[in-house]
Amino acid sequence: MKEVLARINELRDLINLYNEEYFVTDSPSVPDSEYDGLFAELKKLEQEYPEFKSVDSPTNRVGAKPAAAFAQITHKIPMLSLDNAFSAEDITNFLRRINERLAITEDIIFIAEPKIDGLAVSIVYEDGLLKYAATRGDGATGEDITLNCRAIRDIPLSLQTATPPKLLEVRGEVYLSKARFVALNKQAMLEGEKVFVNPRNAAAGSLRQLDPNITYKRGLSFFAYSLPATTLSTQQASLQQLQEFGFPICNEIKLVTGLSGCQDYCAYLGQKRDSLPYEIDGIVYKVNSIALQQKLGFISRSPRWAIAYKFPAQEAITEVLDVEFQVGRTGILTPVARLKPIFVGGVTVSNATLHNMDEIARKDIRIGDTVVVRRAGDVIPEIVSVVMAKRSAKVQTIVAPQYCPVCKAAAVRVEGEAAIRCMGEISCPAQLKEAIAHFATRRAMDIEGLGDKIIEQLVDSALITNVADLYKLDFTKLINLERMGDKSVQNLLASIENSKQTQFARFLYALGIPEVGVTMANVLAKEFTDLDVLMQVDEARLLTIRDIGPVVANNIYVFLHQKRNIAVIQQLLQAGINWPVVQKSTMLPLSGQVFVLTGGLNKYSRDTAREKLEALGATVSNSVSKKTNFVVAGNDAGSKLDKAKQLGVHVLQEEELIALLIKYNG
């Protein structure tokens, strides 16, 4: 029993510390999944050993005491937390408890809404004017953040109604959009300042600034989600009322019925999660009927009529076992952490990118460290931070290599760059393999059947020494490779032959010129319809072209003037690679028009739509700005569509795009 009590006290101390870090100082040292696990363990122990329950246990509290730097505000109605659900079984049990308490069998109607990863606030209006605002704090008392809330554009200073109520309390979530988070961190890195770990921390830190001007510049957003003292009959009616008063409401909120409705919404939002313009970590289900909410009531720290379903953790804690350096097609050596395998974001992760030596130094990552790893959707896992409290004296500093791990050529850090490069260039097998793989990709020369294993064998056996050698392959050379039968050899050779008929932009992209992606290749192809002309231009001429800066201009010029590259290009042309010559013209119907594609299209792939638009003279960009003329919105369009609406850019549905293409193509 002594061991149980000792563990309970240890858990309480840890959770209180983590509450302080999360709610007050905005510097959590562990991910939510770690905190949730400890909290669940404490709750279970207190249920199993009721003699050790304590009124000051964190299981009876909502958050942490308000920070001393702010004045305190007492909430008229306590701001409670929500019980968490981590599985379908937890949701089933939640619904069962509701039906049992209400003594009914029919399905309940719920409001389902994304659980925004931000900071909960309470805003009070008197006679329609914003009077004060407070954080959740410990549930009973919060921090006075009135001036900072006034600096958030989404929060109205006065209610949009001619007959405002005498007193109105609005609750909602202050958050930082993904785009603003990236922009803030980019600016912080440029200025040598500390970057934010995640959007939630950035939002909380921005809202707790003593200078509201800083809050204003951070560009916070707000979603309202409840009227705690409403006299309306449903949660849905409350949301409609909030909209009428001028508050933004999350457009992903839906009415769902019973278990099947909750499950369908969970599947829907789980698929859409990565494309949302803001971070979410789960779903909140609330009984829609206010009368039923009142019947169900509350327990010590949470309502019985609502629950927060937490998505599988996208962050987890693990250990750095080693660090290796991988060589890319341009010779950049990328440090990759070998991790103790951990399940995160729905998959088992054993590797994480460390980006470069500057990033390693900034985060102070060492071999043997305990680290927080994050994985979101299909994004490559990365190390977010080090858990310094768990660092031992045995950790090892990560040292930049002096030689390429593959070809042993010198590894040099170029002045002005964060990256370390292998100077072996085309003689380095790793660079050659990556260059060939890039050359064969669908958006380049589109050679099907040329996978990594085949490329590895071709390079290792010296059957190819550059990309032009692909066009010298024959049946005899390929048939003896592993996994290559008659049919697969014939298919690969046919695909190589078909790739000879291409487009100028695809060819330029396939060459692998540093900093020249699909968009830049198209810009060059439209500006210089002839390869010979492009290979003769100087940097000054390149700098006159839209979107080309000094670095890109230098990369293009140097690449196209290196003897070995010229030789490979000549070999490719001699092998029969060709493309239709398009006469440069400013008379194309969509010349000067900038398009952005977002979401999934049904009739065309995004690449096909891009090519068709560019063939008509349009420029297809990857980002929305004031210079954008049209945004084409497909299925599940995300933040680009939101930005288009915000800037007043004309939005085309797929049907309108098809009509436009038919109009000009006949």
Helix (H, G, I), strand (E, B) or coil at 571: helix
End-to-end CA gap in the chain:
83
Confidence of residue 23 (pLDDT cuts 50, 70, 90): low
8 A C-beta contact, residue 320 and residue 99:
no
Q: Does the pLDDT at position 596 exceed 60?
A: yes
**What is the average pLDDT across 444-473?**
92
> Is there a single domain that holds both residue 238 and residue 298?
yes
Q: Which helix (H) or strand (E) holds 418?
A: none
Instruction: State both tokens at 40.
Output: 């669940």
Of 25-29, 439-443, 579-583, 651-655, which range is least confident? 25-29
> Is there a single domain that holds both residue 516 and residue 540?
yes
How many distinct structural domains can be found in the chain? 5
The per-residue pLDDT for 493 is 95
**For residue range 109-138, what is the model confidence (pLDDT) as tens digits?**
999 999 998 999 999 999 999 999 999 888
The per-residue pLDDT for 68 is 53
Residue 524's CATH number: 1.10.150.20
Asked whether residue 647 is assigned to any structural domain, the reply reads: yes
Residue 28's CATH number: 1.10.287.610
> Is there a single domain that holds both residue 400 and residue 506?
no
Q: Which helix (H) or strand (E) holds 509?
A: helix 504-510
**What is the average pLDDT across 504-530?**
88
Q: What length does the chain have?
A: 666
> Is there a single domain that holds both residue 444 and residue 398?
no
The per-residue pLDDT for 3 is 80
The per-residue pLDDT for 598 is 87
The per-residue pLDDT for 26 is 52
Q: Does the pLDDT at position 50 exceed 90?
A: no
Q: Does the pLDDT at position 481 exceed 80?
A: yes
d(CA 80, CA 654): 45
Residue 16 or residue 557, greater confidence: 557
Instruction: State both tokens at 576.
Output: 């029969």
Q: At what angle do helices 518-527 and 606-615 cross, to 10 degrees?
A: 20
Helix (H, G, I), strand (E, B) or coil at 88: helix
d(CA 307, CA 82): 6
Residue 40 or residue 29, greater confidence: 40
**What is the average pLDDT across 593-599?**
88
d(CA 641, CA 543): 31
Q: Which of 574, 604, 619 is the last residue of a domain?
A: 574
**What is the average pLDDT across 577-592?**
76
The per-residue pLDDT for 22 is 59
Q: Which helix (H) or strand (E) holds 468?
A: none
The per-residue pLDDT for 407 is 86
**What is the average pLDDT across 336-341?**
94
d(CA 338, CA 352): 7
Asked whether residue 67 is assigned to any structural domain, the reply reads: no
Q: Does the pLDDT at position 61 exceed 60?
A: no
How do strand 109-116 and strand 280-287 relate by DSSP bridges? antiparallel
User: Which one-letter DSSP state was computed for residue 635?
Assistant: B
> Is there a single domain that holds both residue 613 and residue 562?
no
> Is there a single domain that holds both residue 342 and residue 266?
no
d(CA 287, CA 296): 10
Q: Which helix (H) or strand (E) holds 145?
A: none
Asked whether residue 151 is assigned to any structural domain, the reply reads: yes
**Amino acid at site 361:** A
> Is there a single domain that holds both residue 348 and residue 401?
yes
Contacts of 45 (CB under 8 A, 6+ apart): 4, 7, 8, 11, 52
d(CA 512, CA 466): 12
Supply the range of the domain harboring residue 138.
Answer: 72-310
Ranges 2-11, 77-86, 231-240, 405-414, most confident = 231-240
Asked whether residue 471 is assigned to any structural domain, the reply reads: yes
How do strand 221-226 and strand 72-74 relate by DSSP bridges? unpaired
List, in sequence order, every residue forming a beta bridge with 142; answer none if it has no partner: 73
The structure tokens 């909410």 sit at 293
Asked whether residue 583 is assigned to any structural domain, the reply reads: no
> Is there a single domain that holds both residue 205 and residue 282?
yes
Of 5-19, 75-89, 249-263, 275-289, which range is least confident? 5-19
Residue 185 or residue 194, greater confidence: 185
> Is there a single domain that holds both residue 356 and residue 466?
no
d(CA 314, CA 466): 40
- Buried b vs exposed e over 121-153: b needs ≥16 C-beta within 10 Å? bbbbbeebebebbbbbbbbbbbbbbbbbbebbe
8 A C-beta contact, residue 58 and residue 40:
no
Residue 270's CATH number: 3.30.470.30
**For residue range 297-312, what is the model confidence (pLDDT) as tens digits?**
988 678 999 999 988 7
> Is there a single domain that holds both residue 400 and residue 512?
no
Q: Does the pLDDT at position 63 exceed 50?
A: no
Asked whether residue 419 is assigned to any structural domain, the reply reads: no
8 A C-beta contact, residue 160 and residue 169:
no
**What is the average pLDDT across 436-463?**
92
**For residue range 213-259, what is the model confidence (pLDDT) as tens digits?**
888 888 899 999 999 988 999 999 999 999 999 999 999 999 999 99
8 A C-beta contact, residue 242 and residue 297:
no
d(CA 330, CA 227): 56
Helix (H, G, I), strand (E, B) or coil at 246: coil
Catalytic residues: 115
The structure tokens 């003594």 sit at 103
Residue 404's alpha-carbon distances to 327, 425, 525, 657, in angstroms, are: 8, 11, 34, 49
**For residue range 79-107, what is the model confidence (pLDDT) as tens digits?**
888 888 888 899 999 999 999 999 998 99
Of 201-205, 454-458, 550-554, which range is least confident? 201-205
Q: Does the pLDDT at position 378 exceed 60?
A: no
- Lateral strand order in the sheet of 619-621: 619-621, 594-598, 630-633, 650-653
Contacts of 246 (CB under 8 A, 6+ apart): 156, 159, 160
Residue 627's CATH number: 3.40.50.10190
**What is the average pLDDT across 320-339?**
91
Q: Phi and psi dihedrals of 254, rounded to 5?
A: -140, 155
Contacts of 124 (CB under 8 A, 6+ apart): 76, 130, 131, 132, 133, 167, 168, 169, 170
Confidence of residue 509 (pLDDT cuts 50, 70, 90): very high
> Is there a single domain that holds both residue 398 and residue 441?
no
Mean pLDDT over the full length of the chain: 86
**What is the average pLDDT across 519-537?**
87
**What is the average pLDDT across 161-185?**
91
> Is there a single domain that holds both residue 379 and residue 481?
no
The per-residue pLDDT for 294 is 92
Asked whether residue 418 is assigned to any structural domain, the reply reads: no
Asked whether residue 602 is assigned to any structural domain, the reply reads: yes
Of 65-79, 209-223, 464-478, which range is least confident? 65-79
Q: Which of 264, 285, 310 is the last residue of a domain?
A: 310
d(CA 373, CA 337): 11
Q: Which of 574, 604, 621 is the last residue of a domain?
A: 574
d(CA 325, CA 419): 12
What is the DSSP annotation of 11-29? HHHHHHHHHIIIIISS--S
Tell me the percentage of the chain whose pLDDT exceeds 90.
Answer: 39
Q: Does the pLDDT at position 443 exceed 50?
A: yes
Q: Does the pLDDT at position 358 exceed 90?
A: no
